[in-house]
Amino acid sequence: MSTERPPSNAPETETDSPELARFDRFSVGGILLFCTIPPLVGVLLAVAIHLFVVLPAIGVGSNGLTRMVRLGEHLATIEGTRAGKPRVCVLGDSVSVEGIDASAIERSASDAWQVENYAINGANREQIRVILPKVLATKPDAVVYILRVQAIADPPPLPVDLAYAYALGGFPAAWPSGWLNESVPGISPRAMDGLEASRFAAQLHFRGALVYRFNDLMHERFSGKTKLPAPDNWRDAHHMTGGITGERLDRHIKTMEDEVSAAARMSDPAFPATLERNEQDLAEIVAEIRRAGATPVLVIAPVHPRLRASRPYAEVGARLDQRVDELVERFGAVRVDARLLLEADDFADAQHPGPTGRDTLSEFIGKGLPSAAGR
C-alpha cells in the first residue's frame, strides 16, 4: 500500500490511439472474420500436423504413455489360440518393469514357457483391470500378477492422460459388459471419459506430445540414473541404470511407508476393514483370469529389508497374505511369495529391484510357475 496516490484506477483509453484507426476500414463483420479465420486456419493446420506428422513420428510423446498404446497394438497382433508354446503374461507396475527379465523366467521354469512382460510403470490395480480383458483375449495359459502391498489399498486416481493412452491402445473395446465404471476404486468420471474416448478424441488429447517428448528427453539427459522406458520391449523393459543410497534412500523408505499408510487409510479408525472394497476388486481380477482359462500366479513382491518391519508394510502385508491364501483356495491360483527374497543390495531403491534383484526375482518366479502339462 502506497502512502502516495498510485496511478488512477480510471480505465485507459487505449483504443483512441492513432494506430488503431487503420482498423476502421473494416466493417464489424469484416474485422470479426479477420480475427477468426486465420486462427481457425491455424488450428486446422495444427490438427493436420499433429495427426499426420507428430503422432506417427513420436507417438504420444512420453515413452511411458507410448508403452500403453504399443501394448494394445501388440496384443491385437497376437492370435487368441493356445497352440504352440504355453504362454505366460506378466502384469504389474514399475517393480515388475524393473524386476522381470522374461529370459530368466524361461530359463528357470520347469516347462518351456514363453514369457512376455506387460508391466507398465505406475500400473496400480485399476490399470491392471483396464488392460486385463485384452490380455486375456490373447488366451495366455498363465497370468503372473505381481502384488505389492498397495494391491489391496486404495489406488490413486487414474491420471487422465493414462486413460486416453489406454483408449488409444484399444483396451476398453475388450472389456466385458460392466467390467469397469466410475464405481471402481481409482476411476474418476474424467478418467472414465478418457477411457471411453473415440480414437480421434484420444489422438487430439495428445496434442501435447511434443512437450512430453521434450520432457522425456531432458529427463533422460539430466537424471543420469534412468534411461527412457522402452515402449515396446515385452521381455526386459527395465530402465533404471543406477540406484540410490544414503539420505536419498532414507527419504524414499519414508515416502514408501507414508504412501502405503495413506493408501491403506491406516489412520482411519475402521482400518483394516477399509481395505475390503479393494480386496473384492482384487478377487474379481483373479476370478476373471480364471474364467478366461488361465492360471493366476500371484507373486507377492519383494519388500526392502528396511521396510519389512515397518507398521504399514507388516500389517497390510499380513492382510495381503491372508487374501492371497483365500484366492489360492477359491480360484486355484498359484502363490509365489517373494517378500523376503531380496537383500538390501538387490534393490535399486526402496522398492525396485536392481540388476541382481532382477535376476533373482525372475528365476524365483520361473521356478514357481506351475506345470504347463495340464493346460
Partner 1 sequence: MLFQTPEFLVVFAISIAGLLCLRRASHQHTLFAVLSYIFYAWIDVRFLILLLITSLVDFAAALGMDGVKLSWRERLRLSGYTALMGYVTLGLNWPMLQVSHQGFSFDNFELAGFFTPRWDGLGASLAAVAAFCVLWPVVYGWLVNAYEGERRRKAFMVVSVVCNLVVLGFFKYFNFFVDSFIAAGASVGIELSRPHLDVLLPMGISFYTFVSMSYTIDAYRRELVPERSFMRFNLFVCYYPHLVAGPIIRPQNFFPTLEQPWKLRARNIASGFHLVLNGLFKKVLIADAIAPFVENVFSAPSAGATSIAVMLGAAFFAIQIYCDFSGYTDIARGISRMIGPELPINFNFPYFSTSIIEFWRRWHISLSTWLRDYLYIPLGGGRGTPTRVYFNLMATMALGGLWHGASANFLVWGIYQGALLCINRVIRGAIERRPRLDAFMQSKIGTAFRWLVTIYFVLLGWLIFRITDPKDPWNFTELWYCMKKFVIFDFDFGLSSLGLGRGAPFHAAACAGLFVLLHTVSRMKGHFNERLDRAPLWVLPLVYIGLALMLYFLWPTHETAFIYFQF
In 3-state terms, what secondary structure has residue 24? helix
Say which DSSP state 241 is in: -
Pick 123 or 144: Cβ nearer partner 1:
123
Query: For residues 77 and 234, is the Cβ–Cβ distance under 8 A?
Result: no
Each residue 182-211 as x (binds partner 1 by CB under 8 A) or -, in order, gives -------xx--------------xxxx-xx
Choices 17-25, 260-268, 311-319, 347-355; region in contact with partner 1 by CB under 8 A: 17-25
Residue with cell 491455424: 42
Choices 24-32, 145-153, 179-187, 269-277; region in contact with partner 1 by CB under 8 A: 24-32
Pick 258 or 343: Cβ nearer partner 1:
258
Pick 77 or 183: Cβ nearer partner 1:
183
Before 272, cis peptide (omega within 30)? yes
Three-point CA angle 62, 65, 68, nearest 5°: 145
Three-point CA angle 219, 220, 224, nearest 5°: 105
344 in contact with partner 1 (CB under 8 A) = no
Amino acid found at 212: Y
Count of CB atoms within 10 A of residue 220's CB? 15
Query: For residues 239 and 97, is the Cβ–Cβ distance under 8 A?
Result: yes
Task: For the segment 219-238, give every residue that binds partner 1 (CB under 8 A).
Answer: 219, 222-223, 226
Amino acid found at 283: A
Q: Which of 103, 181, 241, 251 forms a contact with partner 1 (CB under 8 A)? A: 251
Chain centroid to CA 374: how far? 33
Instruction: Say how far apart CA 95 and CA 120 lie, in whole Å.
Output: 9
48 in contact with partner 1 (CB under 8 A) = no
Distant-in-sequence, close-in-space partners of 304: CB < 8 Å, separation ≥ 6: 253, 256, 342, 344, 347, 350, 351
| Number of chain positions touching partner 1 (CB under 8 A) | 65
Each residue 81-120 as x (binds partner 1 by CB under 8 A) or -, in order, gives ----------------------------------------
Instruction: Say how far apart CA 193 and CA 72 lie, in whole Å.
Output: 18
Q: How far is the CB of 194 from partner 1 (least distance, A)?
A: 9
Pick 74 or 190: Cβ nearer partner 1:
190
Pick 49 or 273: Cβ nearer partner 1:
49
43 in contact with partner 1 (CB under 8 A) = yes
* Ramachandran angles phi, psi of 19, nearest 5°: -60, -30
- Label residue 84 left, alpha or beta by phi (over 0 means left) and psi (-120 to 50 means alpha): left
30 in contact with partner 1 (CB under 8 A) = yes
Q: Which of 22, 77, 84, 373 forms a contact with partner 1 (CB under 8 A)? A: 22
Give the relative orientation of helices 276-291 and 125-136 as an angle to the nearest 10 degrees: 10
Choices 1-9, 72-80, 91-99, 359-367; region in contact with partner 1 by CB under 8 A: 1-9
Pick 145 or 347: Cβ nearer partner 1:
347
Pick 213 or 319: Cβ nearer partner 1:
213
215 in contact with partner 1 (CB under 8 A) = yes
Instruction: Say how far apart CA 249 and CA 242 lie, in whole Å.
Output: 12
Task: For the segment 252-281, give every residue that binds partner 1 (CB under 8 A).
Answer: 254-255
17 in contact with partner 1 (CB under 8 A) = yes
* Ramachandran angles phi, psi of 319, nearest 5°: -65, -40
Which residues sit at the interface with partner 1, rule CB under 8 A?
1-15, 17, 19-28, 30-32, 34-35, 37-43, 45-47, 49-50, 160-161, 164, 189-190, 205-208, 210-211, 214-215, 218-219, 222-223, 226, 248, 251, 254-255
